[in-house]
Amino acid sequence: MTIVVGYVPKPEGRAALRAALDEADRRAESLHVLNTSRGDALVDPSYASPQDLEDVRRLLEEAGVEFDLEHRVGGRDGAEEVVEAAEKQNASLIVIGLRRRSPTGKLIFGSNAQRILLDAPCPVLAVKAPAGEAAGHLH
Amino acid sequence: MSSVVGDGTSRTGRPVREAPWAEAVFPVALTALGVFTIVDATRIFVPGSANTLGPRAFPYAVGALLVAVGVVLVIGLARGHRGDAEDSEDVDSGVGTDWPTVAKLTGSFAALVVLIEPLGWPVAATVLFGGTAWSLGARPWWRPMLVGAVLAVVVHVVFTQMLGLFLPAGPLDGVRFFG
Amino acid sequence: MGDFAALLDGFTTAVQPIYLLYALIGVTLGTAVGVLPGIGPAMTVALLLPLTYTLEPTAALIMFAGIYYGGMYGGSTTSILLNTPGESASIITALEGNAMAKAGRGAAALATAAIGSFIAGTLATVALTLLAPAIADVAVKLGPQDYVALMVVAFLTVAALLGSSPARGIAALAVGLFLGLVGTDTLTAQQRFTFGVPALADGIDVVVVAVGVFAVGEALYVASRMRRGPIPLVPISGKFMTKDDMRRSWRPWLRGTAVGFPIGTMPAGGAEVATFLSYSLERRLSKRKHEFGNGAIEGVAGPESANNAAAAGVLVPLLTLGLPTSATAAIIIAAFQSYGIRPGPLLFQNESALVWALIASLYIGNVLLLVLNLPLVGVWVKLLQIPRPYLYAGILTFAALGSYSVGASTSDVVLLFLLGVLGWTMRRFGYPIAPAVVGLILGPIAEEQLRRTLAISQGDLTALVTSPFAALAYTALVVFMVLGWWLKRRQARTEAELAAAARAESQPAVVEGGRR
């Protein structure tokens, strides 16, 4: 079985990655780390840079879990990608990070987390970034 | 351990070259336009005084210029002088023309032209914005429609109420803030 | 009244709260739209034109000056933070500034661009203030044959020097000239090339053409082959300006101004040639040549200053002779014309208060830009996250708004779309857009002056070249062509060198840039 984690290069994404690592350890399962972009904007802060991705890879390798890193431009929302990956991998768990969003933002763009919760084929673990974490390092 | 790292962008791809005849369309059209200009200019009425430059001379010159430059370009193309498509931040020079998208976009624009007078700017602009954003890939369809509706109404109120420009309000005519 | 007193009068107008507000709105909107990917200064100015339709001329032109300077500036922010293959005037900034940002000196790059733009913009506006009235005084005495000479100079330089080959430039010019023919002939009051369509009787509105070929054309072009995928954004990091940055920047700022302003005043000079020239100058003078290409602050300071100085330089022929030397300038002329004001030598006599208020507002706009830009960088960066579908939908919506509100008729909207298809085709096959817009604006004026000349001379063609000014202009044309050709070659050489340097750079392992 596999744990699917939706990674974004932001505090909540790093929190999700750490939580997913803990879970993978506990359950002795592999990790499928997913970072995608709809790719329709010139700049997408959720899309990891090659360097950031390298950091993620190093962290995963140091942790010694079996992992898979999926990083691509897909033309679809993050929520859809995560749910689809979970279905494809027959995942036992989805791990996502939560962030605050204004009510208007929710109205227009919806909440990725909510969509994942509703559509997920498996249990979902949602974590928040620890309070006061600077947008900084993984370690 | 495996990893799938796809880039998804093809920024390094060589520009796709379309058939040479596609590039020849523009110069040929220029030549045709030039011929038309010259022919049509002969129908311009020239009043009296013969020793001054009449209303035909300049059109003749423009027509001749169009023909000449069109021919030069066609010859140039035949010799392999091809134009480079303009660079732009949002253009992927490695792909061919996406005709379905262009058609959808044209449809959205046509919808605006048809709808603006009977249904007013707010409705027509919503359709234009929503339709264009949808044809360019925004999903689900109601999201660009919603954004378009908000934008169209804000623009309508700002331009008609604050800037005093005329925009048709359609069925909203007479409603406060819409004109 | 002396020019200085007139300028002071201009300031007293421009600092009125309401005009300050218009300047502020103009600068903010201009920067915001200029920052957006895919939108160059010409399109910025064209898209925002409808905002000024119903304002009185002074307010409109003050706002417009803000939009112009803001739009010129907006592009540099994008270039520093993203290495985008965007409009040519910011290629250098994209290269050198982006390299700085990657090396963790993004803040310094933004700062030197902002301060350099301010200094260059202000100094160049001073030059404009001193030079323009003097040129206007001379230009008042020009006869119709002299104007014909000026138009010929403008046509040939713009067509020959913009675009990849002279034939393509001339083709674009010819299209513009044809579009200019459509409408009612002023001297014989008969319709020409209107195809019996009543909406064409008044000619094709320049605004519709500008918005059509720039905005709709670009939107169609992008739609037809849209890029999927983001470009990595370099986070802004580092100190704003250290003493060392300051010491390395001030000379390039001044040199950039000195290079940019005169080039801006030349037909077809424009901003891009100025930036390339300034860049190669800085590199030649620098003791740290190896830093160029890897984030040399001089390589941002000089070209950015040159860019803004050229933007002010463009206003000299525009205000004094009514000659647009760039696409953006052509649209500004269209804005003037929509108020029934024809830029030219008489502007300083007939519309003195207006012109001086405009010039004063250029100084104010520069200050506003300096104050606004650095603190608002975060906001500008957010704009880059707008998804392309929404961005281009917005562009088309505003384009439709602009063309419809010109005359409240749907035929203008249809025309807009057709012109958009023309703009798309021209982009797709590598024809420059600017000569078409210049041809459209100057064509009718050229015809009128030509016919007037020959009416006065009773059909004697030698009248066209015998006036001293005209003779001088044709001589200057030859000089311009040679000079322009030389500048182009320099630019091509700099580009080739840059490409070679970039290739050499990418061969060995790339040095790790600082992160976050």
Residue B32 has pLDDT above 90, yes or no: yes
Inter-chain CB proximity B8 and A42 less than 8 Å: no
Of A44, A51, A135, which has the smallest distance from its Cβ to C230's Cβ?
A: A44
Question: By the 8 A CB rule, do A7 and A35 touch?
Answer: yes
Question: By the 8 A CB rule, do C398 and C215 touch?
Answer: yes
Neighbours of chain C (3+ CB pairs under 8 A): A, B
Chain A residues with beta carbon closer than 8 angstroms to that of B4: 68-72
How is B35-101 classified by DSSP, letter by letter? HHHHHHHTTS---S-TTS--TTHHHHHHHHHHHHHHHHHHHHHHTT-PPPPPP-TTB-TTS---HHH
Q: CA-nearest residue of chain C to A52?
A: C515
Residue B27 has pLDDT above 60, yes or no: yes
User: Chains A and B: how many Cβ contacts under 8 Å?
Assistant: 43
Question: By the 8 A CB rule, do C252 and C281 touch?
Answer: no
Using one digit for the tens of pLDDT, what is the confidence trace for A66-103? 998 988 887 688 888 999 999 998 999 999 988 776 67
Residue C196 token pair:
């019996």
Of A1-10, B35-44, C157-166, the poorest mean pLDDT is in C157-166
Q: To 5 degrees, how large is the angle CA C139–CA C144–CA C148?
A: 95
Q: Which of A34, A61, A70 to mutate to test the interface with B (most CBs of B within 10 A)?
A: A70
Does C385 contact A at CB distance below 8 Å? Answer: yes
CA-based nearest residue to C74, from C95, C56, C89: C89
CA C48 to chain centre: 14
Inter-chain CB proximity C229 and A51 less than 8 Å: no
Chain A residues with beta carbon closer than 8 angstroms to that of B138: 40
Residue B28 has pLDDT above 60, yes or no: yes
CA-based nearest residue to B66, from C238, C81, C181, C509: C181
Q: Which structural domains are found in chain A, ordered by start?
A: 2-128 (3.40.50.620)
Does B88 contact A at CB distance below 8 Å? Answer: no
Q: How confident is the model at residue B112 (pLDDT cuts 50, 70, 90)?
A: very high
Inter-chain CB proximity C426 and B26 less than 8 Å: yes
Closest-CA distance of chain B to residue C317, Å:
25
* Cα distance between residue C299 and residue C292, in whole Å: 7
CA-based nearest residue to C298, from C310, C285, C309, C307: C285
At C269 the pLDDT is: 62
Of A62-66, B140-144, C84-88, the poorest mean pLDDT is in C84-88
* Cα distance between residue B68 and residue B34, in whole Å: 8
At C97 the pLDDT is: 86
At C512 the pLDDT is: 37
To 10 degrees, the CA torsion angle through B119, B125, B130, B135?
100
Q: Which of C36, C78, C81, C384 to mutate to test the interface with A (most CBs of A within 10 A)?
A: C384
Question: By the 8 A CB rule, do C294 and C95 touch?
Answer: no
Q: What residues pair up with A5 in beta bridges, in sequence order? A: A33, A95
Sort B69 into a burial class: Cβ within 10 Å, 0-12 / 13-18 / 19+.
buried
Of C229, C386, C515, which has the smallest distance from its Cβ to A73's Cβ?
A: C229
Neighbours of chain B (3+ CB pairs under 8 A): A, C
Q: Return the DSSP state at C433.
A: S
CA-based nearest residue to B124, from B141, B138, B145: B145
At B1 the pLDDT is: 37
Interface confidence, given as ipTM, is: 0.88
Phi/psi at B43 (5° precision): -90, -5
Q: How confident is the model at residue B89 (pLDDT cuts 50, 70, 90)?
A: low
Sort C117 into a burial class: Cβ within 10 Å, 0-12 / 13-18 / 19+.
buried
CA-based nearest residue to C378, from C495, C493, C233, C179: C233
Query: Which stretches of C207-338 are assigned E, i.e. beta strand?
Result: none
Chain B residues with beta carbon closer than 8 angstroms to that of A34: none
Residue B130 has pLDDT above 90, yes or no: yes
Chain C residues with beta carbon closer than 8 angstroms to that of A51: 515
| 3-state helix/strand/coil string of C89-131 | HHHHHHHHHHHHHHHHHHHHHHHHHHHHHHHHHHHHHHHHHHH
For range A121-138, the mean pLDDT: 72
> Digits of tens for pLDDT over chain C (516 positions)?
577 888 898 899 888 999 999 999 999 999 998 888 777 778 888 888 888 888 888 898 888 889 888 888 887 888 787 776 455 666 777 788 888 888 888 889 989 999 999 999 999 999 999 999 998 888 888 888 988 998 888 888 777 766 678 889 899 999 999 999 999 887 788 888 888 888 888 888 888 898 899 889 989 998 888 877 777 667 777 777 888 888 999 999 999 999 999 988 887 666 777 888 898 899 888 888 888 888 889 999 999 999 899 989 999 999 998 888 788 888 888 888 878 888 888 888 888 888 999 999 999 999 999 888 878 888 888 888 888 899 999 999 999 998 998 888 899 999 999 999 999 999 888 898 888 988 998 898 899 889 888 888 887 888 888 888 889 888 988 887 788 778 777 877 877 777 777 666 555 433 333 333
Of A42, A69, A108, which has the smallest distance from its Cβ to B5's Cβ?
A: A69
User: Amino acid identity, residue B165?
Assistant: L
Phi/psi at A77 (5° precision): -65, 155
